[in-house]
Structures are given as C-alpha cells and as structure tokens.
Amino acid sequence: MKVVLFCGGRGTRIRDYSESIPKPMIPLGHQPILRHVMQWYSDYGHDDFVLCLGYKANVIKDFFLNTRPQTFADCVVSGGGRDVQLLNEAEKDWRVTLLDTGIWRNIGERLWAAKDHVRNERMFLANYSDGLTDVDLEDVIAKFEASGKIGCFLAVRAPLTYHLADIAEDGRVREFRTTDTSEIWINGGYFVFRPEIFDYMHDGEELVLEPFKRLIADNMLMAYKHEGFWRSMDTLRDWQSLEDMVEKGDMPWNAKATAEKNRRNVVAAAS
C-alpha cells in the first residue's frame, strides 16, 4: 500500500531547533523523525512512499540520494572505506517518490498534487510525518476496509495538562476532569483513504476542513480511537521529550527497540 507523507511545512513552532533543515529532517537519535515514521510503516510491510516536499525540499532529496544502507546499520569497513559488510539484516528496498509540491501549500493541496500517484490504488495511507505512535496499523486498515468509508483518521487524546471544567449556565461548577477521562479527541495525523477522497476535495482547501465536512455529511468518514502511545513533535519541548525516549531506548513506535528493551529488563530481573 502506498504511503503519502507530507514533508513540506515550514515547522515554524520548532524553528528554535534549526532553520537550516526542514522539520521532517530534525533528528531523533541518529536518524531524522521522517525515517522513524517510514520505518514504522515499513515494519507493517508498506515500503512504497510518496513524499510531498516543500520547504527546503533539496535537503530531503539530498538525504535520500546520498544516504547509504550502512548509515543505519552495524557494519565492518575495510579497504579504506571501499568495502562495507553489513552485520545485521539488510535494509528493505524502499521505493521513494520525491515530489516538490511547493512551499506555500496546505496539506490538502499537497495531497492533490500526489493524486496521480495513488489514483489507481484500492486504498492508500497518509501522514503528517511529525508524529509517532504504537497503534496497530493492520487493525486500523482492517476496520477501515470493513467500514466501506472513504476516509479514516487516527483519533488520540488531546495532550493537555489542564484540568477541564464542566460549568453550568449559572456558573455552578459540576465537575473537574483530566483530559484522559474526557471525551476530547483530536486528529493524530495518521490517515487511510480510498481514491474517492479526491471527489470531495476542491482547489486550495485544507484537507481536514471542507473535504472532511463533506465526508461527514455523506457518512463517509470514520475515526479509529487509540488509547495507546502517540506523540507529535510540534515544539522544541516535544522534540526533547522524544529525544529522551530514544536515548533511553524507550521507543514504543519501534517494535525492535521495544523487544530489545523488554529482553534487557528480563535479563536484569533474572540477575
């Protein structure tokens, strides 16, 4: 299944990190968040990517044109760097389409620019490229396929630390709740679509506004509620939180890393 990744935004809320690279290329550990997202899809068997580029598109193009498999693998180097032997499994052969969709484009316009690359797909996936999750993608796809809907988005709890007040018309406070006990859900940026989504889109529209309103009116939009791990990287504080998780090996979005952490915990407990 093809995966459309929106990689063209300017990332203004995290520009304190760097103005020299686009937001999807900000590193978590030794690789950019974009590659974490792509690896997550690849772990589920989806290796055909369409990247909608914009701000500093050349940086992302350069990454894919010049990065070699050994960059992200244990290896043995000999012959002054001419001979490289990978010690672990070889990287999957990803197919990556790089589309320059312009700088001043919203998500809807970027998806529209990629429509020729997914119009013949039975379904396709899409993502903002700045969030990570441990949701079961196979279950998301299965429920979406069975629903007969045209669009699906991952619904997650709003990451707020505020207490929510339930206030009556006369000012009487009925209750205080935390966000995790409320029914406030937000768009987590993970989508599944059928190509018919383009029938609901008009020129210049933002994806989750007018097109989603039309889907809702026709009962063609579903939400997949996810109570598990989800984090977006909107601010420098968000980046630091995710970076700390990577440094500790606590990466719920990475099945291999999670398995290795569990193995170490078992060994430590046994000793």
* Range from 63-72, 142-151, 182-191 carrying the lowest mean pLDDT: 63-72
Whole-angstrom CA distances from 77 to 65, 71, 86, 203, 248 are 21, 12, 9, 51, 28
Q: Which residues, at least 6 apart from 212, have a Cβ–Cβ distance to it below 8 Å?
A: 151, 221
Among residues of the chain, what percentage have pLDDT more than 90? 62
State the CATH class of domain 2-156+185-270.
alpha beta
CB burial class (10 A; 0-12, 13-18, 19+) of residue 12? exposed
Among residues of the chain, what percentage have pLDDT more than 70? 85
Averaged pLDDT for residues 181-203 = 92
Which pLDDT score is estimated for 138?
Answer: 96
Which pLDDT score is estimated for 266?
Answer: 65
Is the predicted pLDDT of residue 220 greater than 70, yes or no?
Answer: yes
Which pLDDT score is estimated for 229?
Answer: 95
* Range from 129-138, 174-183, 199-208 carrying the lowest mean pLDDT: 174-183
This prediction's pTM? 0.85
3-class secondary structure, 110? helix
Q: Which residue type sits at 20?
A: S
Query: What are the E-state strand segments in 63-172?
Result: 75-78, 83-86, 95-100, 124-127, 131-133, 151-157, 163-167
